[in-house]
Structure 1
Amino acid sequence: MGVAMVAHVLVPTSSPAEGAPSGPLPTSTPSAASNPSAPGTLPEQLAATRTTTPEQAVRLALDGLGGHHGRYALAVEDLTSGRSAAYGSSTETFTSASIIKVNILAALLLQTQDRGDRLSPAQRQLASDMIRVSDNDAAQKLWTDIGRRQGLDAANARLGLTPAHAGQTGPWGLTRTTAGDQISLLKAVFTQDSPLSAASRSYLRTLMSAVTDGQNWGVGAAGAPGDPPVLKNGWLPDGTPQRWVVNSVGIVERAGHTLLVVVLTDGQPTRETGIALVEQTAATAVEALVRTP
């Protein structure tokens, strides 16, 4: 990440640094959401609470997961039904890590639209590297192109996000974000109610649909089995020895519903623990939301 990736110096040698190729990840224990026919699992719980609101159903399901490391916030919005739910504070901030790369590209595309221009071939290659393989050098160059923090904040005011919580010269990966802001960004990327053009939205979706193997874990676990993930993940040490930030944002299809999903975490003892938490909470929350009567 250059200056922006000072935090990468802290990466333990036993865990892959962000943007580097990684091997197969441990498979987390399937949650009740992934096995809806199992006795006493989520569908039966929901059947017994017909008056439960979507928000209550998601909270009930996630409370049932038991203990976890660190903290996390989740937000999910069902574009099909209009329902939404959150777990944890939607305004509590977390370190962005590489999910901010979607925000950087959205800002660049918005600026390009304003000029009536297109991304240059070099910028398109950088954008592909930044999203598909989470290349930090590419992100640093495009961060500079958008005008760093000032350019990001100007774009975010139009995209429906609050200003990034970082100093003007601070590393892009250490900006702060909220689950609520990430849902707003996903709306700008994946819905028509957006200052981004249809071409810009399609371009972002194409790149998020082609994340390299080893980095395609995350909220895609909440989608229908076999569906290719459309997402961006981020991970880095959170400044405390052996503690990790692990985030994932994206769009999934489940049971005839299209849903935007955000999970932000920190204080994770390992990257793999964070991934398991992200996937389990995303799958559980989406299952609860689409099955609530």
Structure 2
Amino acid sequence: MMEAALRRAQEWSRNLTAWERRRIRPMITTSDNNAAGRLWNDLGHPYLNRFLRRANTTSTTLGPYGRWGLTRTTAADQMRLLGVLSGARHARDVLKERARAYGLRQMADVRRDQRWGVPAGMPRGVRAHLKNGWLPRATLGWRVHSVGVFKGDGRTYRIVVLSHGNPTMAYGVRTVERIAQAVHRGLNKGRGPGQGLTPESEISEVPDGSVEPEGETRDPAA
């Protein structure tokens, strides 16, 4: 949603409006669902789908009835979307540098209790720009996802870990972080980790709220 809003402003030859900025920042930094819902409705499915095609995603399907939390995606598509922000070769024409910098700045400011996941194992001197999602469902248990762009020492790389089938939130976070540790270690030979695993005592078992609990309904026009 953030990238689509940035692209729309670019296409319309304008800056983000104050209204857009007031939704984007809390949506990213604190997982504010009211802000996300309003931006989702403002962008609309047609524009969001056009943006996804522009970003060369091939397997992302928007959630039904306004429920962005039920959007289906793949690790490959998330890597492409992170590439839009990090200026990867395949996506440099999607957003201008100023818009990319704005997006990454929001992801760098995610609040402390939501900074688990792919930063685990990153070395000192590297900065994480991330966004996480976590939601339990009746089938396949907890979905625990973490994506991030990492910058430092003259290099940029991306990590995406999507998981389901986790019995608890803490189990999912630990799974994601163990994978991230291995990736950081492989990409930073000879450098010790600067960030460890998130203590279980700091992992909440409360869903991210992007979808109402199963068994409850919500007016899609609300």
TM class, shorter-length: 0.7 to 0.9
Measured in 2, the distance between the counterparts of 1:254 and 1:226 equals: 6
Measured in 1, the distance between the counterparts of 2:98 and 2:151 equals: 22
Structure 1: gaps spanning 5 or more residues: 1-103
Amino acid at match of 1:123: E
Quote the residue 1:164 is aligned against: 60
The structure with the larger Rg is: 1
Matched, 1:251 2:149: yes
Give deviations 1:244-268, integer Å, cap 9, x for gaps: 1110011125786431000000111
Shift of 1:197: 1.1
CA contact (8 A) 1:157 1:163 kept: no
Higher relative contact order (CA 8 A, sep 6+): 1
CA contact (8 A) 2:63 2:70 kept: no
> Once superposed, which parts of structure 1, at least 4 consecutive aligned residues long, lie more than 3 Å away?
225-228, 253-257
Matched, 1:184 2:83: no
Matched, 1:114 2:26: no
Structure 2: gaps spanning 5 or more residues: 190-222
Amino acid at match of 2:176: V
Which of 156, 160, 164 is the matching residue for 1:262? Answer: 160
Shift of 1:150: 2.0
Aligned Cα root-mean-square deviation (Å): 2.2
Query: Kindly tell me: are residues 127 and 165 of structure 1, through their superposed partners in 2, closer, same or farther at Cα, counting changes over 3 Å?
Result: same
Identity of aligned residues (%): 38
Shift of 1:134: 0.6
Amino acid at match of 2:162: L
Alignment of 1:89-104 (within 5 A): 104=1
Shift of 1:125: 1.3
Query: Kindly tell me: are residues 140 and 258 of structure 1, through their superposed partners in 2, closer, same or farther at Cα, counting changes over 3 Å?
Result: same
Alignment length, in residue pairs?
Answer: 187
Alignment of 1:267-282 (within 5 A): 267-282=165-180
